[in-house]
Structure 1
Amino acid sequence: MAAERKLTDLKRFWYALGAPIASCLIASIVIIFNSDLQWDFSHKGFNDFHQIFRIPLAILALALPIVALVATIHRSAQLSETLKRAEIQNTFANYYTHRKEFLELLKQLEVDHGISFSGRAGLYAKIFPNNNNQSLETVSTGKNQEESLLFELARKFLRAKEITKHSKVTNEKVNAFYLNTYNLSNELHFTVVDGKGRGCELDFVGNPEPLKIQLAYEENNPFKHLYIVGSVLEALRDFGHIESPRTFTFPNINSVFSSLASQKFKNQTARHEHE
């Protein structure tokens, strides 16, 4: 690249310097061969020289500003290349720093909520799909600047939460709530690992066998898994600098819902003890 070479190694430098000199020489030769000139080293002779060769001298004088212009352009190109390299190096370093901070956030969430993330690099790629060691965006977006995955998960969170507000709570609604909540944790790449999770068999009409899923559950807080999902979403939203209202609030415990949920988990525990 031209920006990496010395000024004197550039052809355009020699063109800028040589063209005025060559033009000056050609004009001078034309004048000499078409004029009756005599050697005169007196004061009058020097005045006559300046008068006769004023055009070749003017052409020769152009060499300095032209060379200076070429040198300025070359310095600008070198500076631009230096800044570009610095930007590439900064992006490279900042990308891995950003990923490291993301992974540290996941580790802290694991400690806080008794969960374990799998496919951490995949989760980072889903939340920051445009990031690589040559490009970095600290604001979470989708591919091609579409909506961030976190917005979609926030809407799913709200839909799961809405299930608990139904005035007529049924076993099917309880099943739907836990299945939706479990699916959210799957999309966030985490599972419950520290004993707070219990296997829950959800019975769906038409299913040949019950669907067994692992959930965080406490008898006095049947929304424990939803709470963890919401906390994870909120932490990721803050990390991704998503400008959105704080939607990850948690519903009041519906007594009927709580009773059905408690019975479901008790039945599951009894089945395991019987087995």
Structure 2
Amino acid sequence: MTDNKSLFQLKRFWLSIAVPVLTSFLVSFVILGNSDLSYRFDYIGVNNFLVIFKVPIGLLALVFPFVALAASSHRSEQTKKQISLSESQNSFANYFKHLEEFGKIVDDLKGSFCLRDFNHRELYSMLFPINSPSYVEFVCKGVGSREPSKIEMIVDSLNQKVSSLNERNGEEEVSMVEVEEFYSLLVGFSQEMRFFPDRHELSHRVLVPPFAGKYMLIFRESDPFLHYYAFKSYIEFVGSFGYDYSKLKRIKSDVRLNEVAADVVRKLEGPWEQDPHTGEMLEN
């Protein structure tokens, strides 16, 4: 690459000298070959020389601006390289610092919500999919410029589902199937966001269709939507790291259907016990 070479190693530097010089000599030879000139070493001869060879001398003078342009171009390339290198180093440092700070937030959340341990890099990659050591965005974004971020998609989906259930609840009885669908959506998003309750005293291990695994659902008889509220707080904590908190979309808080929801969780609840060695949930 030319920006790794000195000015005197560049072809364009030597061309900026050679082209005007060679052109000047060529024009001079043409003049000499087609003119009847005689030597005079007085002031008349000097003046005649300047008049006769005005064009070759002018071409020769182009060496200076051409060399200046070549030097300026080379200096610009070096400056561009230094800026690029500086940006790359800053991105590299910012990426790992951002990842480190996100890890601290996740560690706090694990303790606050009694979550099972997980690698925070997995969640970071999901929330900041375009981030890498060479490029860092501090705001959660989707992969495409018009795609919503993961958190925005979750908030919109849950809000839409809750609004639909609440509207139906005011008009007619909501079926257990619809509430099961709500829990399936909630559990799916909880799993994606690594929201795995581990030792919460109000938790029960339940099997929520269509998932083929056993999932720890935070539940209280008097408040079957406790998991939803906990996940809402979790999303807001995580989202505050990648958004202006005042602009962060909120998950709706007003969920009704308690009686139906409690019946659903009771139906799904299994008599599971946790294996102390493997952590697997085993049926009694």
TM-score (normalizing by structure 1): 0.79
> Identity percentage over the alignment?
26
Q: After alignment, is 59-68 or 166-175 more displaced?
A: 166-175
Letter in 2 for 1:231: S
Aligned to 2:200: 195
Aligned to 1:235: 237
Residues 17-56 of structure 1 aligned to structure 2 (within 5 Å): 17-33=17-33, 34-40=35-41, 42-56=42-56
Letter in 2 for 1:147: P
Aligned to 1:108: 108
Q: Is the 8 A contact 1:222 1:258 kept in 2?
A: yes
- Please give the per-residue CA displacement for 1:8-37, whole angstroms capped at 9, x wherever unaligned: 111111111111112222333333443322
Q: Is the 8 A contact 1:222 1:261 kept in 2?
A: no
Aligned to 1:61: 61
Aligned length: 266
Q: For the residues of structure 1 that align with 2:240 and 2:59, how far apart are their CA atoms? A: 66
Distance 1:11 1:203, change over 3 A: closer
Q: After alignment, is 70-79 or 147-156 more displaced?
A: 147-156
TM-score (normalizing by structure 2): 0.77
Aligned to 1:14: 14
Aligned to 2:127: 127
Give RMSD over aligned pairs: 3.5
Q: Is the 8 A contact 1:163 1:173 kept in 2?
A: no
Q: For the residues of structure 2 that align with 1:24 and 1:196, how far apart are their CA atoms? A: 93
Distance 1:213 1:61, change over 3 A: closer
Aligned to 2:281: none
Aligned to 2:216: 214
Unaligned runs of 5+ in 2: 275-283
- 2:254 counterpart of 1:251: yes
Q: For the residues of structure 1 that align with 2:66 and 2:20, how far apart are their CA atoms? A: 9
Letter in 2 for 1:121: R
**CA drift at 1:44:** 3.0
Aligned to 1:77: 77
| Paired residue secondary structure (2:203) | strand
Q: Is the 8 A contact 2:225 2:258 kept in 1?
A: no
**CA drift at 1:136:** 2.4
Residues 254-273 of structure 1 aligned to structure 2 (within 5 Å): 256=259, 260=263, 264=266
| Paired residue secondary structure (1:214) | strand
Q: For the residues of structure 2 that align with 1:14 and 1:8, how far apart are their CA atoms? A: 8
Q: Is the 8 A contact 2:155 2:249 kept in 1?
A: no
Residues 165-176 of structure 1 aligned to structure 2 (within 5 Å): 165=166, 166-167=169-170, 168=173, 175-176=180-181
Q: For the residues of structure 2 that align with 1:229 and 1:10, how far apart are their CA atoms? A: 62
Aligned to 2:140: 140
- Please give the per-residue CA displacement for 1:190-248, whole angstroms capped at 9, x wherever unaligned: 211233352244698xx9xx985312234554332112211122233332337966432
Distance 1:155 1:27, change over 3 A: closer
Aligned to 1:183: 188
**CA drift at 1:125:** 1.9
Q: For the residues of structure 1 that align with 2:126 and 2:24, how far apart are their CA atoms? A: 67
Letter in 2 for 1:107: D
Q: Is the 8 A contact 2:162 2:255 kept in 1?
A: no
Q: For the residues of structure 2 that align with 1:192 and 1:127, how far apart are their CA atoms? A: 20
Q: Is the 8 A contact 1:117 1:189 kept in 2?
A: no
